[in-house]
Structure 1
Amino acid sequence: MPTTARTYWLTSPCRLRRQDQSLRIERDGHDPRHIPITDVRDIIAAAEVDLNTAMISLLNKHRINVHFLSHYGDYAGSLLPADTATSSHTVLAQAQLAADPDASLPIARALVDAAAFNIRWVIDRRLLHEPYQTLKDTAKTATSRGELMAAEGNFRRSAWEVLDTKLPDWLQLAGRHRRPPTNAGNAVISYVNGLVYSRALTALRLTPLHTGIGFLHSTLERHRHSLALDLAELFKPLFAERLLLRLAGRRQLKPHHFDTTANQAMLSAKGRTLIIENVRNDLATTVTHRGLNRKVAYDELLYLDALALTRTCLEESPYKPFRIWW
């Protein structure tokens, strides 16, 4: 993303306090850590965090987003600054585009197709070839968002079945279960998806788009930013399923990384740390961009796709969502 500031990941309980123009992180049993506020782009709180009004005022002044994950790793909410880059001209164009089925359906169709393409690339291009072709055929004739999302759901069920064949028994999903996750594999997917959603929201907040007006997910979606849900769909496979396969293949995930009961599972403190370290490394990984002819980090890919959506809204140019090419 176009800034030298960094994302800070809070993986253990702490207090955030303001000290002049710095952020002070206080943890029991540790010396306070001081960070210049200009070094902070956004914060992801993966553990309990205590804030006071002085800290919130400083975050708001410098337009710093704080994203919170729940005890189970689901996205719980965000503390967003009042002043954003949102432009009324862009929002009006975005709203008009989203409200016009003839204009918005091709965008939704492109999102579903690209997300399925990325899932197939990550899991197995051969075994998912036929389900992907079925999705493409169904998407071409779909006349509503609901039909598109139903087709996407059918494809994802096929993808998760193939994914399970590549995982050890104890990490298999056995179907997708979210709130709460019912087993270790679902716990990993849910946790990483929450992180990806947070990154998508930060990327969109750097553009003049309104995060509540989506093209695939309903604009009336409560408690969520519909456009961030749209954007996150494209990048979840790059981080979630891919990371689960990698950690399973390297035998880095162990049962002690999870706290499990009869009907639910969640990452332990060590498990959350392991996942966050890997996601941070993935976000910093670079690839040569074919259009820009320069190296970009995975993190910047989300911002570039948000810019592509902005151009579509303002210039009515065809939207070409992110597809993994390397």
Structure 2
Amino acid sequence: MKKPIYIFNNGKLKREDNTIIFIKENDEKKVIPINSISEIHILGELDLNKRVLEFLTKNQIPLFFYNHYGYYIGTFYPREYLNSGLITLKQAEFYLNHEERIFLAKSFIIGAVSNILKNLSYYKKAKEELINSYIQEIENKAKEINLKTDIPSIMAIEGDIRKTYYEAFNVILNSDDFYFDKRTKKPPKNPINALISFGNSLLYTTILAQIYRTHLDPRIGYLHETNQRSFSLNLDLAEIFKPIIVDKVIFSLINKGQIQLKHFDEDIEFSYLNEKGKQIFIQAFEEKINTTIKYKNLGNVSYRKLIRLECYTKTDV
């Protein structure tokens, strides 16, 4: 099975015969077997040339770039070898049809709420009374979703539900070093926000890589506006998977003591993971996304495969 690779070091990416070579700044070389990788994530400073990009295009391997803080900043998306004009038109038709778009937008939020409730139910075994109050509040708010008839109202309900869900984090987490007061972005204001932002970046690119293996156009989303943003379908799908992938990784890493304050940059208020912290998170993220679960009549499938299946079931094209 092909796997993603993550490059943390600064260096150069070169083509050598029928494979890729990564050369670190100290001239140490590492061979990257082209037939064993699905995508490449770049977290360090990288030099590369057109020959490398041509080779990656030929082998349908996307590149994802992150800045120093771990924010996703861009993609080299090879020629869309599976893209279908007919499917793109169908996606656009769904987007322009108000009823179809609202139906799809609601389905993403309903999927997200379902997984949020699964998370809370999992953790209520230890703190049942406290967690039950959050479950009840979210269930009550979720009843309003089907009453909404426009995207801003749907997004507002989603934001309200997540606010309640985030309040439960301090009940779930067993560490005095990690307190979560509210969601903040660009920049994240504390370690929990740093973990959420980094995890979401990884999820967005993971979903983009799976969309690339389908006939779908990632530029056309339904919950998130299709405007000046490069991609939006991956953001839609991410709403479903954030609770069961990103959040579960965060809970596990903190409660097991695998992520500590020493894994954050203390010079900027612990708002960003340092390199070691990123490596720990990515390892846990990959383990989680490769975990298999029983899915309908398909038997055991990994979360990575489930993402691709959701590309089809949620867009119905």
| Aligned Cα root-mean-square deviation (Å) | 1.7
Deviation at 1:215, TM superposition (A): 1.1
Tell me the number of residue pairs that the alignment of Structure 1 and Structure 2 aligns.
307
| Structure 1: unaligned runs, 5 residues or longer | 314-326
* Partner AA of 1:190 in structure 2: S
Task: Find the aligned partners of 2:142 and 2:290 in 1 and give their Cα distance.
Answer: 32
* Partner AA of 2:162 in structure 1: R
Q: Counterpart in 2 of 1:77?
A: 74
Task: Find the aligned partners of 2:308 and 2:254 in 1 and give their Cα distance.
Answer: 29
Q: Counterpart in 2 of 1:37?
A: 34
Q: Counterpart in 2 of 1:324?
A: none
SS of 1:133 mapped into structure 2:
helix
SS of 1:277 mapped into structure 2:
helix
Select which of 190, 193, 198 maps to 1:191. Answer: 198
| 2:188 is the alignment partner of 1:181 | yes
SS of 2:78 mapped into structure 1:
coil
Q: Counterpart in 2 of 1:14?
A: 11
Deviation at 1:216, TM superposition (A): 0.6
Deviation at 1:30, TM superposition (A): 6.1
Q: Counterpart in 2 of 1:59?
A: 56
C-alpha contact 1:7 1:44 (8 A) present in aligned 2 = yes
Deviation at 1:100, TM superposition (A): 0.6
| 2:125 is the alignment partner of 1:128 | no
Q: Counterpart in 2 of 1:163?
A: 169
| 2:280 is the alignment partner of 1:274 | yes
Select which of 193, 201, 210 maps to 2:208. Answer: 201
Deviation at 1:90, TM superposition (A): 0.7
C-alpha contact 1:72 1:187 (8 A) present in aligned 2 = no
SS of 1:303 mapped into structure 2:
helix
Select which of 86, 105, 110 maps to 2:107. Answer: 110
| 2:43 is the alignment partner of 1:46 | yes
Q: Counterpart in 2 of 1:299?
A: 304
SS of 1:131 mapped into structure 2:
helix
Structure 1 window deviating more from structure 2 (58-67 vs 151-160): it is 58-67
Deviation at 1:289, TM superposition (A): 2.0
Deviation at 1:26, TM superposition (A): 1.1
Q: Counterpart in 1 of 2:146?
A: 140
C-alpha contact 2:142 2:161 (8 A) present in aligned 1 = no
C-alpha contact 1:215 1:227 (8 A) present in aligned 2 = yes
Q: Counterpart in 1 of 2:124?
A: none
Distance 1:286 1:267, change over 3 A: same
Deviation at 1:249, TM superposition (A): 1.2
Q: TM-score, normalised by structure 1?
A: 0.89
Structure 1 window deviating more from structure 2 (25-34 vs 68-77): it is 25-34
Structure 1 window deviating more from structure 2 (147-156 vs 276-285): it is 276-285
Task: Find the aligned partners of 2:229 and 2:74 in 1 and give their Cα distance.
Answer: 8
| Structure 2: unaligned runs, 5 residues or longer | 122-130
SS of 1:158 mapped into structure 2:
helix
C-alpha contact 1:11 1:272 (8 A) present in aligned 2 = no
Deviation at 1:153, TM superposition (A): 0.2
SS of 1:196 mapped into structure 2:
helix
C-alpha contact 2:62 2:75 (8 A) present in aligned 1 = yes
Q: TM-score, normalised by structure 2?
A: 0.91
Deviations along 1:32-51, one digit per CA (max 9) or x if unpaired, are 11123222211112222222
C-alpha contact 2:120 2:135 (8 A) present in aligned 1 = no
* Partner AA of 2:101 in structure 1: S
Task: Find the aligned partners of 2:45 and 2:120 in 1 and give their Cα distance.
Answer: 34
C-alpha contact 1:120 1:128 (8 A) present in aligned 2 = no
Deviations along 1:239-297, one digit per CA (max 9) or x if unpaired, are 221111111111111111000346561001110110011111112211222221x2211
Q: Counterpart in 2 of 1:24?
A: 21
